[in-house]
Structure 1
Amino acid sequence: MKAIVIEGFGDPAATIQLKELPDPPAPAPGEVTVEMLVLNINPSDLLQIQGLYGVSKPPLPFIPGGEAVGRIAAIGDGVSGLAVGDIVSPMILNCWVERVNIKAHLAMKLPADIDLLQASMIKGNPATAEALLMDQVKLQPGDWLMQNAANSAVGTFLVKLAAERGINTLNIVRRDSAVEGVREAGGTAVTADALDDARAFRKTARELTGGAPIKLALDAIGGGATAVLANALADGGTIVNYGLLSGEQCRIDAQHLIFRKVTLKGFWLIHWFTDAGRERVAATYASVARGMAAGTLTTPVAEVIPFEEAKRAMAAAGEGGRTGKVLMVTKAYSG
């Protein structure tokens, strides 16, 4: 079987190696064999391959890939609730492989009729959007939040989920061409103006919200973008940073923290799995899966690339200005 193996950190398109590895053995008791179908490429995967993600670098060599969808190919003794042929999301962090054995409880069963391309994106972005929206600050219908990178996969999911709940969103994008897409997704207000000028954006935010207080700011960029959000946030508001797309650490003036009682906190989905509890996690994914199956919670797909062309997929995923996600498909995927 083929797998992407990382033996040294660096540019993903140049660093990854597509290697032949032995097929996994028959699953042990309590395990299942998952045959991967569609593999998602997230910014966190690219950062991990560069050695820039998390507190420490993973030990070399390793198989990356935090998200995929697959099919149960074999079942070990003692496994219940799963059958050969079931579509599952593997809750593991080494998904970029054609087949893998995992503990049965880590195979999250999905609806049989779910779109496989969309299902490959179920674990990270929609759950992140739900947790950012509902588990950070108690928001009521009519309240305002703001987010940057609003045309990203997480941002688009969040816009749709907020609109369903009657929560207003002020959405910041980097280019004018992205504005309309966020509006169509349900964004209350969208702007590509004054993104690097905190004082100017504060004025823009007041105009777009009618002066309503913004209680929550979601930051995927870091660097100076954090300061821009802080300046437009209501006193006592909360900024949640969940990404560093700028490659820079968050910058925020101490006056916001000391005198305006602004809170800056971080979010990582891995911690949410533990903190939210099994029932909350299960309910979240069940809701997202229903939305995907119904076609109401979907993410645009820019390109679908064969697993054998993984280097090209890495290059495509690293390009800016895309209108959707880049996915890889294995030979087992039939479309």
Structure 2
Amino acid sequence: MDKVELASPPQDGITRVAFAPASNDLLASSWDKTVRLYDTDANAMRHRFNLAAPVLDVAFAGNNSAVWLDLTTGQARTVGAHESGVRCVNYHAESGMYSVILHSDPLRMLLSGSWDSTVGIWDPRTNTRTGVLTQPSKIYAMTLAGNMLVVGTASRNVWIWDVRNTQQPFARRESNLKYQTRAIAPMPNGDGYVMSSIEGRVAVEYIEESKQAQKFAFKCHRHKDEQGQEVIHPVNALAFHPGYGTFATGGSDGFVNTWDGGNRKRLYQFQCYETSIASLAFSHDGSKLAVAASYLMEQGPKDHPADAIHIRTVQDKHVKPKEKK
């Protein structure tokens, strides 16, 4: 079966899905104040963590706190707090980087991006904040590309920090996109990142100044209506395939597309989902793609029974780059 819908889904909008670094376990956070851990092979929920407020990102609660969830004991504890909602979270370890915070091994560095315009650096073993990175404005998206922390904020600012030396930003840039940043995802090799906006565009960017000539942006997730007018949708979700380095985009049009950035071509478009795509995640070996289909309030408050998490089996035709002719 090439697609399954996970049982026991969140009971409200889904904010994030993330695969574990070395298994097919999947985490899902939601506005229903829960984080759920799924065994995607067995299509079973292993744990449900009930928190005090809506969960905006995996392991982060909307009560301005960074929360550490122990998958062995099923217990949750607060690592630290911001002055406003925590929007993003990343985990940096000496052996690599993960966006998944729910992990049973000791952490080296926990990074939390907040609407209070700061990134907190935490040692979750001691619940100690070891640093604060002040950003130019409210944080909307954040990711780790190797040792580089890429932070997308309001006013189209993109600040890049080397987590090994945080005395000042490595680079201060303006987004190549004209509208508000919606998502950022790192290239598997750490050379750069892709970022998306609310206006149906994606930019492929590089960390080093020497590679800036290679950057580009393109239009996506848009269509013509019955009157021939172009309808443009936010690009809410980005995820790189760990093996091929191609990436997927998910939009409020309900479509998931995969792209070959090297050849600047779309590889595949999956059939339309019933509602917006809120989050995407490839499994560690690239064999699965988790798709969080979730209404994102584009049309105001209304019932959204179509919210669900789908697990797709990934084939080469979906993600393998085509040879240049």
Q: TM-score, normalised by structure 2?
A: 0.29
More helix by percentage: 1
Q: Which has more radius of gyration? A: 1
Higher relative CO (Cα under 8 Å, sequence separation at least 6) belongs to: 1
